Amino acid sequence: MAKPEYRIIGKSTPFIDARDKATGTTVYTSDITLPNMLYGKVVRSTVAHGRILSIDTSAAERLPGVKAVITAKDTVAILLRYVFVYCLAKYELCNPHGETVLAGYRRLGAWAPIYMIIAIVIVLQLIGTFLIKGAVENLTFLIPALANIPAIILGLITSFCVIYLALKPLKVLETVFKIFLAIMTVIFVYGMIAAKPDLGAIAAGAVIPRIPEGGLVIAVSLIGTVGCAPANLIYSYLIREKGWQGKEDLRQVKFDLGFPMIFMFILILSVWVVAAAYLKPNGIEVNSSEDIAKGFAALIGPIGAVLFHVGLFVAIFTTLNGLCMGYARMVSDIVKQFKPLKPITVMGQTRDWVFFAVVAWGCVVPLVWLFTSAGFVQLTVMFLTANVFVMPLISIGALIMVNKKAWIGEGNTANWWQNAGLGISVLLGIFFSVQGLINLL
């Protein structure tokens, strides 16, 4: 029998980049040089299977040219939020009464949920204004012709779209939005690499979010948008919608929560870097999102500004959507603990009047602010401050809830890392409240 002839089998093929490697033209990571690049060095334990008792970085920090020494300590903020939200989800899934987290808060006393409603109402108004203002700004940049239309009309259209899509989700649009968000993440991260990062300031910002001097308001507010305290509560509502019911689903929560947290961390970090390291030293005052867009344009060309605006618009849109729905659900849940509410159906969604009222409060009422001259900066400061007052209550409440056997159920009480995380959250919450007060005065 004659041997069959194959095109590929039995033939020797040099692999695709062998020539580049043999001539030294392949670019390895260590061959990449970028402007103002910093060099990092990983320091590993000198003892196999050793236990880290303490790390003294002071001598390294004193060396000339050393910008930052980063240890596990510098990852605290994001870890805390993870522990915090995880504990709330645990309460939601594990408590033997089948009650929601907010019902759990009510066990602290009837005043607790009421206090929370007030806080949510303030926060939502501010965040709504903030986001709609941002959305309109972005729209006018993307379609210059829109600048002739009054901002209030554009705001109205945006609000309408947010509400409409919240009630009638469109799968296609969701996918498109996800793609835009991905694009924004890519340019943010690229911007982060291309800018010259001052790691020390960024590390400090990641651990203790605060309102820095100068024009970093936008960066801070983005952090606030994703990290504000009452928003952390929304997650335990979302898990119901995912169909997770009991203790056995807690494992999934760990991953479901962990991934976006990592993603957010990267995104926040890159905004910080671009704002802190690139815009300010180059004399760009950050007063509106337009200024950050300029930064991106300077970094990656005119397309940078467009991508930034599209990404920001999508981010704002989805955040407003998510926050309105989440808060609306929370408030309606709280109110229901005091008195039953009659269901109403709007556009196929059956909820109660409180729910729709909160959505309107977050999406429509803020339009009034568009008439006023309240600046971005004032709004942001007010928003962050309002957040800060709720934080101690939420964290102290959570700490109590996950430790009372009668509340969360036998065998479900918090373990050491959950308690440690919540304990630190309580301390930070109090610390921020004091700082917020000082900022207000």
Dist CA 105 CA 122 (whole Å):
19
Q: Among residues 43 and 344, whose Cβ is nearest to other proteins?
A: 43
345 binds other proteins (CB under 8 A): no
Least spacing, CB of residue 43 vs other proteins, in Å:
15
18 binds other proteins (CB under 8 A): yes
Dist CA 45 CA 28 (whole Å):
26
Question: At 346, which helix (H) or strand (E)?
Answer: strand 343-346
Least spacing, CB of residue 298 vs other proteins, in Å:
26
| Residues of this chain, 80-99, that bind other proteins according to CB under 8 A | none
- 76-94 and 250-273 helices cross at what angle (nearest 10)? 150
Q: Among residues 29 and 372, whose Cβ is nearest to other proteins?
A: 29
Number of residues that bind other proteins (CB under 8 A): 18
Dist CA 90 CA 311 (whole Å):
33
Q: Among residues 29 and 350, whose Cβ is nearest to other proteins?
A: 29
x-or-dash string of contact with other proteins, 27-56, rule CB under 8 A: xx-xx-x-----------------------
Residue range at the interface with other proteins (CB under 8 A); choices 24-32, 167-175, 181-189, 342-350: 24-32
Least spacing, CB of residue 67 vs other proteins, in Å:
19
Residue range at the interface with other proteins (CB under 8 A); choices 23-31, 112-120, 134-142, 206-214: 23-31
Q: Among residues 18 and 170, whose Cβ is nearest to other proteins?
A: 18
Q: Among residues 31 and 410, whose Cβ is nearest to other proteins?
A: 31
Helix (H, G, I), strand (E, B) or coil at 274: helix
Per CB under 8 A, the list member of 6, 7, 12, 59 interacting with other proteins is: 12
The amino acid occupying position 197 is P
Q: Which residues contact 232 (CB under 8 A, 6 or more apart)?
A: 81, 84, 85, 88, 394
Q: Among residues 27 and 72, whose Cβ is nearest to other proteins?
A: 27
Least spacing, CB of residue 26 vs other proteins, in Å:
6
Q: Which residues contact 324 (CB under 8 A, 6 or more apart)?
A: 124, 128, 162, 163, 166, 358, 359, 362, 363
Least spacing, CB of residue 189 vs other proteins, in Å:
24
Q: Which residues contact 44 (CB under 8 A, 6 or more apart)?
A: none
Per CB under 8 A, the list member of 1, 5, 9, 24 interacting with other proteins is: 24
Q: Among residues 33 and 350, whose Cβ is nearest to other proteins?
A: 33
Distance separating the N- and C-terminal Cα atoms of the chain: 95
Residue pair 271/217 in contact (Cβ under 8 Å)? The answer is no
Q: Can you tell me which residue has the tokens 């917020």?
A: 436
Give exposure, 58-93, as e/b (b: 16+ Cβ within 10 Å): eeeeeeeeebbbeeeebeebbebbbbbbbbbbbbbb
Q: Among residues 32 and 145, whose Cβ is nearest to other proteins?
A: 32
Please give the residue ranges that form the binding site for other proteins (CB under 8 A): 12, 14-15, 17-28, 30-31, 33
